A and B are shown apart, each in its own frame.
Chain A
Amino acid sequence: MRVKCTAANVVNVSKLLASQPTDRPRRIGLFVTCLVDLFRPSVGFAAVKLLEDAGCTVEVPALQVCCGQPAYNSGDRATTRAIATQVIDAFEGFDAVVAPSGSCGGMLAHHYPGLFEDDPALRARAENLAARSYELTAFLVDVLGVEKVTAHYPGIVTYHDSCSGLRELDVKAQPRRLLGSVEGLHLREMTAPEVCCGFGGTFCVKYPEISNAMVGDKADDITGTGADTVLAGDLGCLMNMAGKLQREGRQVQVRHVAEVLADMGRIAPIGEPDEER
C-alpha cells in the first residue's frame, strides 16, 4: 500500500503538537449529534467507551443540541450563526471536541470559522474550536495513536465512506485500521464505497426520487459484496441505507462503526426490533 501524506494528516499532527504542553488531550467534550441523541443513543455510549478506554475523560455539555447543518445547508445563515455560537460556548475549554460523525465534525472543523467573517472575536473562537474538533475514528487513530480495540464481531462487513468525513476530514484509513483489529471481522469493500448514499440531510426529503435512486445503487453495491453487515461513521447515512435495505427486504445488518469497535455488536441493528423487549 502506498502511504499518503495528506494535508489533513499534517493538520492533525500540528493540532496534536499544539495541544500538548502536558500530554495527549485528555478532557474530551463529546458532540453527541442530534441524530444519535434522538435515534441511536448507543452510538454515543460507544464513543464514550472508546474514548475512556483510550485514557480520556469524557464530558457531555448540556448546552449542545445540533451543529446547525440543516439551517446552513438551507441557506439560513443567521440561524446557523446563532447555533454555532451556542456550540462554541458549550465546548469552551475542552482539550478536544469529538463527534461520532464526519458530517457534524466537518461542520465544526471546516465551516464554522467562515460563518463569522465580519466578527473577529467570534471568528477567533470558531477557529479555536475548529482546531480542536475531530471525527471519532480519526481522533482515536491520528491523535491518540490507538492501533487496536478489544472487540468481537464475527462476519463479513463492508464499510461505507460518508462524504463529509471522507472529503473534509480525510477519514478513510482510520476506521478500517481499527476494524482490522476486531476479532472475527472480515472487511470486504464495495465497488464504490466513496459514492454518496443519497442522504444529504434535508436533500433526502426535498428530492426523494433522486435520493431513492442513489440509495438504490448503494443498496445494490452493499448486497453485491455478500457482506452481512454494513458499517459507516454517520448515522444519517446509516438510517438512509438501513431504511432502503429493509424496505427491499435485503438481509443486511446496519450499524455504526463505533458500536462494533466498542464491542456493542450484539445490540439490535438499526431499524430492527430489540429482542429483549
Chain B
Amino acid sequence: MQSTAHAFKENVGAALADPNLQDSLAKLKVGFSERRRQAAERLPEFEALRDRARDIKNHALENLDFYLEAFERKVIALGGHVHWAPTAEDARRIIGDLCRSVGARTVAKSKSMVAEEIALNDHLEALGIAPIETDLGEYIIQLRHEPPSHIIAPAVHLTKDQVADTFFEHHSKLGFTRRLTERNDLVAEARHVLRQKFLDADVGLTGANFLVAETGSSMLVTNEGNADLSNTLPRMHIVLASIEKVIPTLEDAAVLLRVLARSATGQESSAYTTLNTGPKRPGDLDGPEQYHVVILDNGRSAVLGTAMQDMLRCIRCGACMNHCPVYGAIGGHAYGWVYPGPIGAVLTPQLVGVEEAGDLPNASTFCGRCESVCPVRIPLPGLMRHWREREFERHLTPRAVRQGLALWGYLVRRPALYRRVTSMANRFLALFGRVEGRYRALPLASGWTRFRDFPAPPGGGTFHAQWRRRRR
C-alpha cells in the first residue's frame, strides 16, 4: 500500500472535517473500550494472562529462528509448502506465481493486514486475477476502493447509511434493486452476493493470527466464518503471515486466544477459531489440494535484538487504537498506511521509514492508555519516544522545534538566568492579562490560542520570587 503518512497533518485536517467519520468515531470511542473493560472484569486472572501472553511472545521472539524452522519442518511433513519472502515484492511474486500455477481467475481472500501491507490486491489485478474480499468489512471497503481504517474493523469509519449506498450502487446490477437500511438485511444481501464467489474461487488466501510451530498449523479467528470457506473450498490455500506470528505450542495459542478476543471486541472468544494443518489428506471429505504458507519479513527482523523488539509482540487485537484518544479523534486513514493507532505509530516508521512516517510517533500525548490495555504489554509510549529520539539524532525534528528546545535547554541549565527571564514573562503576562484573566491571542502561541484562551498568571510574581520574599 502506498503510504501517505508524510501528509499526516493534511490527513488530520480532512478527518476532522468529515462528519460521517466523526459520527462513526463517536460510537467507537465508547463501545470497544466498555466491552473490553467488562470482559476483563469477568475474568479474574486476566492480568496474569496478560503477563503470560507477553512472556510467550517474548520467548518466541528470542528464539524466532528456531520456531520458524520447526514450523517449516512440520508444514513440509504434512505435505504443505513454506515460502520465505524477505520483502513485500518477494511475497507478491510468490503469491502471483502460485495463483498462475493453477490458472486462477479469482482468489477468495479473508481479512489479512499483511496482504494490505504488501498491496496484494493491486498486484493480483495487474495479473488479471480478481481478488474477492470475503470479510464483510473488507468487502465494503473493496467496493469503495478504500484502505482499511482499523486492523480488526476495516470499515469502522463508515456509517450504516454509507454502506447502504455502496451496496445499492454495486448490487443493483446483480439484481438486488432495493436500497436496504437494516443492518441484518445488508449482511444477508452481502452473504448472497459473496456465497457464489466462494464456490467459484480457484485459490483461497487467508492471513493468520498465529503459526503454531508444534503442529505446523496456522490459526485464524473470525466472527463471520468467512475464512473457513476461503480455506476449505478452493483447490489451493495460501496462508500469508509475517515472521513474528510464530508461537511454540497449541497450549500457548490457548493463552493468547484468551486475551485476544477480550482485548479486541470484549468477546470471551471470537465466533470462529480455525486451525489449518496441511492440505487435504486421503480420506478427508474436503480441504485444499495444495497448502502454502508465505512468511514475510519486510523489515521486521531488523528490529530483533534492538530496543524496539517489543513491537513484534503485537497480536493485532486493536485495543490500543480502540482506547487511543488520538485515533478516536482522527480515525485510521489519517495515519496514512496499513496500521493505524499507537501500534501503527510504532510499526509504520519501521516498515516504511521514519522519514516518511515521522509524524506518527510524535502525534501522541503519551497518555499511556494504549499500554494499559495492551494484552501483551507493549510499552507503546516508550517505543514512540524511541522514534522521537532517532528523529532528533538524525535532525529530522522540525527546525523550529529544535531551536526552541535549544534556547529553552540553555535557560533551564542556568537557573539564575532562567528566573530573571521567567520573572519578566510572568510580570508581562500578568500585567496585560489582568483585566480579562486570559488571552484570546498571544504572539508565538497561535497553536494554543487558535482554539483555546491562554490563562494569564495572577499578579505577585513567580512562585520562586514570592517564596524568596516570604522566607527572607
Contact = CB atoms under 8 A, between A and B. Distances in A.
Interface of A: 32, 34, 36-42, 44-45, 60, 62-66, 68, 70-77, 79, 82-83, 86, 163-164, 167-168, 194-196, 198-215, 217, 239-240, 242-244, 246-247, 267-268, 270-274, 277
Nearest to A271: B455
B360 to A, nearest CB: 11
Nearest to A273: B437
Contact of B409 (A79, A198, A205, A244): A79
Nearest to A191: B30
A220 B369 CA distance: 20
A199 B447 CA distance: 12
Contact of A210 (B329, B411, B435, B448): B329
Given A37-B422, A204-B447, A244-B451, 14 more contacts: A39-B455, A39-B457, A41-B460, A41-B461, A45-B463, A75-B391, A167-B371, A207-B9, A207-B12, A210-B363, A247-B453, A268-B437, A271-B438, A274-B434
Nearest to B462: A37
A70 B464 CA distance: 20
B434 A60 contact: no
Nearest to A254: B455
B372 A167 contact: yes
Nearest to B372: A167
B299 interface: no
B405 to A, nearest CB: 6
Contact of B365 (A34, A66, A163): A163
Given A163-B365, A163-B368, A209 B453 contact: no
8 contacts: A41-B461, A64-B415, A71-B405, A72-B385, A76-B389, A203-B366, A205-B447, A271-B454
B426 interface: yes
B182 interface: no
B183 interface: no
Given A38-B422, A168-B368, A277-B434, A271 B412 contact: no
B100 to A, nearest CB: 45
B438 A246 contact: yes
B366 A73 contact: yes
A37 B463 contact: yes
A235 B462 CA distance: 15
Nearest to B413: A82
Contacts of B29: 217
A277 B13 contact: no
A212 B460 contact: no
Contacts of B372: 167
Interface residues of B, number: 68
A205 B453 contact: no
Nearest to B449: A243
A208 B401 contact: no
Nearest to B452: A243
A277 B459 contact: yes
Contacts of A163: 365-369
Contacts of A168: 368
Interface in B83-129: none
A212 B148 CA distance: 25
A203 B388 CA distance: 13
B166 to A, nearest CB: 27
A65 B461 CA distance: 16
Contact of A214 (B325, B385, B413, B448): B325
Contacts, number: 209
Nearest to B461: A41
A38 B462 contact: yes
Contact of B452 (A77, A203, A244): A244
Interface in B166-196: none
Contacts of A76: 389, 392, 405, 409
A123 B380 CA distance: 24
A42 B458 contact: yes
Interface in B328-373: 328-330, 362-369, 371-372
A200 B384 CA distance: 14
A210 B462 CA distance: 31
A32 B438 contact: no
Nearest to B434: A277
Nearest to A277: B434
Contact of B390 (A72, A75, A200, A206): A75
B277 interface: no
Given A86-B413, A243-B452, A210 B326 contact: yes
B306 interface: no
A212 B326 CA distance: 11
B436 interface: yes
B415 A63 contact: yes
A75 B408 CA distance: 14
A171 to B, nearest CB: 13
Contact of A75 (B364, B365, B393): B393
Contacts of B388: 73-75
Contacts of B255: none
A32 to B, nearest CB: 5
B436 A164 contact: no
Given A212-B452, A243-B454, A164 B368 contact: yes
B459 A243 contact: no
Contacts of A239: 454-455
B144 interface: no
A54 B16 CA distance: 48
B397 interface: yes
Contacts of A195: 325, 367, 369
B397 A75 contact: yes
A86 B451 CA distance: 35
Cβ-closest 4 pairs across A and B: A200-B365, A243-B452, A75-B392, A205-B447
Contacts of A207: 9, 12, 362-363
A211 B452 CA distance: 10
Contacts of A208: 447-448, 450-451
B272 interface: no
B362 A44 contact: no
Contacts of A42: 458
A36 B12 CA distance: 32
B16 A41 contact: no
A71 B422 contact: no
